[in-house]
Chain A
Amino acid sequence: MAEVLSTKAVVKEANTAASTQTLSTQTLIINGKSFTLDADPKMPILWALRDILGLTGTKYGCGAGLCGACTVHLDGQPVRACLTSLGQAQGKQLTTIEGLDNQKLKDAWAEYNVPQCGYCQAGQLMSAAALVAQHPKPSEAQINSAMSGNICRCGTYPRIKAALQNYAKQED
């Protein structure tokens, strides 16, 4: 199923100089569903997801690849949505927190009551999901290294670590 969304309507209505618009048709596969949108291919997918497609689970924290709040999976690899353009994501499988299907991981998060404000947690979960997909039983060093790009200002690190270590112990 394809949905067509556009930023054009508002642009025209506001009657601004649209001459430098570089809109082109972008096709994205998000959480298994195909979307077509007219947008600048340079636009970071973070803003396409949030402002155009209404998928707001992916968060902004720094816009510079420094905090990990915007982490999504591109063909299964964790990437920063604030630094990945629509052009780069064309035709690739994009997974966001809304489409994350690792229930066992979410259960581990709930069991350890990980979130405080919760704002960074989508990014934390996406980084963690990519880690356990590669290393189902990650060592502490692997956890530290895979999660070091995700900042949590509330300080949930000890619980994230405990949740991941316990996840490693659980049978599937």
Chain B
Amino acid sequence: MSTFTAVENISRRDVLKLFGAVGGGLALGASGLTWSPMALAQDKEARLNLFIAIGEDDKVYLTCHRSEMGQGIRTGILQVLAEELEADWDKIVPIQGLADKRYASQNTDGSRSIRENYDRMRQMGAMARAMLEQAAAARWKVPVSEVHTAHHKVLHVKSGRSAKFGELALAASEQVVPAVESLTFKDVKDFKQIGASRQIVDMDAMLTGRAIYGYDIKLDGMFYASIMRPPVLGSDVATLDDTAARNVAGVLDVYRLPAAKGAPAFQALGGVAVIATNTWSALEGRKALKVTWTASDNSQHDSSLYLQELVERVQQSGNVVRQYGDEIKNWPEANTLKAVYTVPYLIHSSIEPPVATAHVTDKGCEIWASTQTPQSTQQNVAAALGMEEEAIKVNVTLLGGGFGRKSKPDFSVEAALLSKQFKRPVKVSWSREDEIQNGYYHAISAQSYQALFDANNKPSALLARTGFPSISSTFAEGVEYPSGGELDLGFVDVPFALPNLRYEAVKAQAHSRIGWMRSVCNIQHGFSVGSFVDEMAHRSQVSCPQMWRNLLGEARRETFTDQQFKYGNYGEELNRHPVDVSRYLGVIDAVEKAQAKAPKAGKNQGWGFAVHRSFVSYVAVAMLVEVSEDKQLKVLNAIAAIDAGTIVNPDRVKAQTEGAIVFGLSLALMGEITYKEGKVQQSNFHDYPLLRMPQAPDIEIIIIESDAPPAGVGEPGVPPVAPSLTNAIFAATGQRIRDLPVNKLLRV
């Protein structure tokens, strides 16, 4: 399969050849649950599960087991591995890991590839280095304590001897794998890779059209499929007339897929597949289908009516999810500030829509997909085909963006079902319309906030409520409330130092597939709390950053003890990744300082501010906008400061944060998916617009230097964008925007 290797530089088979035909090499594997490299390095199968392999050609083959979707992980993971190994950067070859439990989780979402793998990859590098040193010491018959590694060589200073990695590879692979406790690690001051802005490893391929994405897969004898899916969740084909479709040039067949049953999870949605010799014929065939659909429970869903209901519900009491201090019963109007915020449904719209190719045979199935989650692809395809997971091989291509959509493997399941039916490789390419109309949606939501002010106009109590259909509803029927995990995303976990805090969640049923999208519930929670703090600041007549400082209180680590909830903290221990008020203050100060050097707000202009902690990182954003007399908005400047702990590749952290600002502006300015009669009303970029170059502001990113453990990067930049924007609009015009998107009120 030559197309795929173009991006890999070396295929898996070549790696095996490296060990088989060519001979030598050092291979280290990692086990799933217990993380035991010892056991696997002695297991012949470990060769299929590599992080590090060294060839006799002196090249170092480093495996990235996470998916590349623009965050630079294929470069970042390799930097960490190469650091402890002391490998030369120009001798590394990136290898993309297949789906394999022994890597532990490969799920590339939740902004955790570096935070979960930083220590582990350092261990892998240090372990390989130790084995090379043992091999050299044995060869030279000197104590291992006398040798050291530098610049892709092991050296014995006393005798002046040295050996390249390639010369030692075979002997090193025969060494006893050292215990993790025995490993030595480099000093931070000696780092050459970690903290260096390395160019991404796929740069050349991307600039020449050689980079291979899921959409680019082409196998011998492959059929192309386009699927018309039920327009309303839960509906199915009522009648089908495919006569005209079958007459379209290049159309080979039309096939009905069974509708998903029960909670949608990662099932194929069903519908009608048009099978053709090329993508265009499949699309043309689809246009010629005549299909009517059955009604479902969701056929009456109207998002504007639904939102009105949510807005009413968040103004009545709900389930208490965090309580600190007293419940305030008396909210005298004169001393109370109240506001309700809403965010509509949103969809990911990576420029490459979902796409997968499957080849099912009697023995198993091979998948090539733009997937963020090769392992759950493996599980779900296995379940759909009635095969063992081990029989499903999943190749991860480059992803043309992911943003959470591609960690749902439904599209690979579709390809597998069709390949099984047609006994051929089948590629299922989603069109843009499919992507917008049959997705997993960021939930529509409403929040209410109210604050009590004392005689000095200082806030003394806060009551917040949130309501949105839960992601859990995608996986189980009958879910009516947000899950604790969703409430942890920027709602209950803001460490306000007020004497009385009460947080509630209200009921909200789902009428479509609800899923996670870049920063997930932090989108609505960051918007509502970020807006409300600005409203409080206005009332108290202090600046917004100052109101944040007042509300956060003194530098401390918030543990939320005895507050009726257990904080999930993005899966991290609170002692390793605390909720640290001093780090909030750090990013607030950094942005204020940068803002002082930026242009002052002129006529019809205003600066807005917001700060948010998510994925255990801290991001503050200041934004300058101008609103002309005829209501034309222009976003002029954005400044962001990010504290994500230890940074592996500063340039990629900057790039991700720039991208987060653009992503956040798209959703705040123009992002809106609406439903009528259960159907999504938008279909392409004309009615679901994304930010274009002339709308993008000048962007400045500040990275806070830190030696704290690495934290999330891909998502944390998004949540503070929307509130800093609407706060800026308020500063410029006095108009408070509480309902997104902004283009309902202003031209953007």
Question: Chain A residues in contact with chain B, CB under 8 A?
Answer: 7, 10-11, 14, 16-23, 40, 43-44, 46-47, 50-52, 54-64, 66-67, 69, 96-98, 100, 106, 109-110, 113, 115-122, 125, 143-145, 147-161
Taking the complex as formed, is B675 at the interface, i.e. its CB lies under 8 A from any CB of chain A? no
Chain A residue nearest to B699 in the complex (CB): A158
Known: A56-B209, A110-B199, A155-B691. A63 touches B431 (CB 8 A): yes
Residues 248 to 278 of chain B near chain A (Cβ within 8 Å):
248-253, 277-278
CA distance in complex: A51, B283 (Å)? 13
Residues 57 to 102 of chain B near chain A (Cβ within 8 Å):
68-72
Query: Among B158-166, B179-187, B653-661, which stretch is in contact with chain A?
Result: B653-661
Q: C-beta contact mask, B210-229 vs A, less than 8 Å → 1, else 0?
A: 11110110100100100000
A-B contact pairs, 18 of them (CB 8 A): A51-B279, A52-B278, A56-B209, A59-B352, A62-B432, A62-B684, A64-B432, A66-B685, A98-B208, A98-B209, A100-B208, A100-B209, A118-B205, A147-B693, A153-B690, A157-B691, A157-B693, A158-B698
- A153 adjacent to B209 (CB under 8 Å): no
Q: Which 3 A-B pairs have the closest CB atoms?
A: A57-B209, A155-B662, A119-B400
- Chain B residues with CB under 8 Å of A19's CB are 247
- A16 adjacent to B252 (CB under 8 Å): yes
Given A56, A61, A67, A154, which contacts B659 in the complex, CB threshold below 8 Å? A154
- A51 adjacent to B69 (CB under 8 Å): no
- Chain A residues with CB under 8 Å of B277's CB are 7, 10-11, 14, 51
Taking the complex as formed, is B686 at the interface, i.e. its CB lies under 8 A from any CB of chain A? yes
Known: A56-B212, A158-B696. A67 touches B685 (CB 8 A): yes
Which residue, A14, A151, A158, has most C-beta atoms of chain B within 10 A?
A: A158
- A148 adjacent to B691 (CB under 8 Å): no
Taking the complex as formed, is B471 at the interface, i.e. its CB lies under 8 A from any CB of chain A? no
CA distance in complex: A96, B691 (Å)? 25
- B203 adjacent to A115 (CB under 8 Å): yes
- B350 adjacent to A113 (CB under 8 Å): no
- A47 adjacent to B278 (CB under 8 Å): yes
Which residue, B277, B398, B431, has most C-beta atoms of chain A within 10 A?
A: B277
CA distance in complex: A11, B204 (Å)? 37
Known: A11-B277, A113-B651. A119 touches B351 (CB 8 A): yes
- A115 adjacent to B200 (CB under 8 Å): yes
- CB proximity of B71 to chain A, nearest CB, Å: 7
Taking the complex as formed, is B289 at the interface, i.e. its CB lies under 8 A from any CB of chain A? no
Known: A63-B431, A106-B207, A155-B659. A144 touches B694 (CB 8 A): yes
- Chain A residues with CB under 8 Å of B730's CB are none
Taking the complex as formed, is B280 at the interface, i.e. its CB lies under 8 A from any CB of chain A? yes
- CB proximity of B228 to chain A, nearest CB, Å: 15
- CB proximity of A65 to chain B, nearest CB, Å: 10
Residues 358 to 405 of chain B near chain A (Cβ within 8 Å):
398-403
- CB proximity of A129 to chain B, nearest CB, Å: 11
- Chain A residues with CB under 8 Å of B141's CB are none
- B693 adjacent to A64 (CB under 8 Å): no
- Chain B residues with CB under 8 Å of A125's CB are 207
- Chain B residues with CB under 8 Å of A119's CB are 213, 350-352, 398-401
- B253 adjacent to A14 (CB under 8 Å): yes
